Amino acid sequence: MLNPFILVMISSGVLTLLALILYRRQIKRELRSLKLGSHLMWLVLLAYLTLNLLLGYLDWRLILIAEVFLVLLLTLLGGFVLLCLLVIESIKVWRLESHSIGNLLLPLSVLAYLIMGRLTDALVKLPADYDWLKYISIFYGLFLPYVIWQFLAFLVSSLLYAKKAPLTAAHRKYFVVLGAGLVNGNQVGKLLGARIEKAVALAQDETIIIFSGGQGADEKVSEAYAMRQYAVDVLGFPEERTMLEDKSRTTYENLTLSSALIQGQPFSFFTSDYHVLRAAIFAKSLGLDAQGHGGKTALYYRIPAFIREFIAIINSKRKTYALIILLTLVLPMILLLILSSQRG
């Protein structure tokens, strides 16, 4: 009879191989999806499990060494290094950017995590008469891991997409640069400038660049006009190889109106690195043959920006997330009712 441990190890290896196949398949079929990061994360987790089982089969002391190394590594990176990074980058955002809620999402998220952690720890220790309060800690314990997993899937997907998507659309005739707010109402800022510079740098002799962006209430000219002037006057791009789309107000409109301007032909679009995956998912949902390139963004700005993008992703799928929240509310309630009936 086959050793149960060997059977588990073989099963884990098969699941790892299946995860690898699904990941490779996702890369070939569609990059514009959160499945890209999710599949890779499952692959890493299953490969790690299989490796541990193999080490345990060979010598259990190898597992102990590997686990101690991993714990020390995670403690160092996830504790000291990550904490220092969060503090430094939060200070930079506060000093260099506006003091808006959006730019304070990083420290606020960390603060909320610490407060909720202390609160749930305190609730668990309450007497049996306060079981109804323990419901909060159960809900938090179920919902938080799901949110963290989804955020990591979004982050990993964004990084993978930024690396692989440009390879699939390197020589398209049309480039679309997505607009952003202008400085002083008529000037291109660093964020928007990075998008234009990336598009101009990748443009070939036959490339036509469409600058997409309407005129906001506080802007003197359209974003499209300001971007073209920057590309022509500062970067030396030929004006005759440019087009303007100056009516759009949102990313959806950037993509749809620009696509209509070139009669639905394939194109590459340029935006900031933190925004490129969400824009690509929009393009996919609109049925557009479009892949994105991300302009570089300063690290201090990129981290809170990723959080904002993740919130926007959740908002775009609010019905799905509402259902998940409902389930995480109902299941703990059922569990508490069962525990209460057993005590009674």
pLDDT by residue (tens digit) across 131-167?
666 667 777 777 788 888 888 899 899 989 988 887 6
Q: What are the tens digits of pLDDT across the range 302-326?
A: 877 888 888 888 888 888 878 877 7
Dist CA 313 CA 278 (whole Å): 7
Buried b (16+ CB within 10 A) or exposed e, 287-301: ebebbbbbbebbebb
Residue 267 pairs in a beta bridge with 174, 290
The arithmetic mean of pLDDT across residues 214-218, rounded, is: 87
pLDDT of residue 218: 84
**Least confident stretch, 67-71, 161-165, 233-237:** 67-71
pLDDT tier, 75 (very low <50, low <70, confident <90, very high otherwise) = low
pLDDT of residue 169: 66
Pairwise pLDDT comparison (103 vs 177), residue with the higher score = 177
Element housing 192 (H / E): helix 190-202
Tell me: pLDDT of 46 over 90.
Answer: yes
The arithmetic mean of pLDDT across residues 267-276, rounded, is: 92
pLDDT of residue 58: 76
Residue type, position 138, single letter: I
pLDDT tier, 198 (very low <50, low <70, confident <90, very high otherwise) = very high
pLDDT of residue 131: 64
- In the chain, which ranges are E strands? 174-178, 208-212, 242-245, 267-272, 290-295
228, with CB counted inside 10 A (0-12, 13-18, 19+), is: buried
pLDDT of residue 24: 94
pLDDT of residue 175: 95
Least Cα distance to 213 among 235, 229, 236 occurs for 229
pLDDT of residue 243: 95
Whole-structure pTM over 0.85, yes or no? no
Least Cα distance to 251 among 228, 223, 220 occurs for 223
Tell me: pLDDT of 121 over 70.
Answer: yes
pLDDT tier, 260 (very low <50, low <70, confident <90, very high otherwise) = very high
The count of other CB atoms within 10 Å of the CB of residue 233 is: 10
Tell me: pLDDT of 88 over 80.
Answer: no
* Sheet of 290-295, strands arranged across: 242-245, 208-212, 174-178, 267-272, 290-295
Structural domains of the chain ordered from first start: 169-297 (3.40.50.620)
Tell me: pLDDT of 219 over 90.
Answer: no
Dist CA 236 CA 101 (whole Å): 38
pLDDT tier, 80 (very low <50, low <70, confident <90, very high otherwise) = low
> What DSSP string runs through 207-218?
-EEEEE----TT
Dist CA 4 CA 6 (whole Å): 5
The arithmetic mean of pLDDT across residues 1-10, rounded, is: 78
Task: State the average pLDDT for the chain.
Answer: 83
Tell me: pLDDT of 338 over 80.
Answer: no
Contact (CB, 8 A) for 46 and 21: no
pLDDT tier, 177 (very low <50, low <70, confident <90, very high otherwise) = very high
What is the percent of the chain with per-residue pLDDT over 90, rounded to a whole number?
A: 38
Q: What is the DSSP letter of 299?
A: H
**Least confident stretch, 38-42, 112-116, 167-171, 263-267:** 167-171
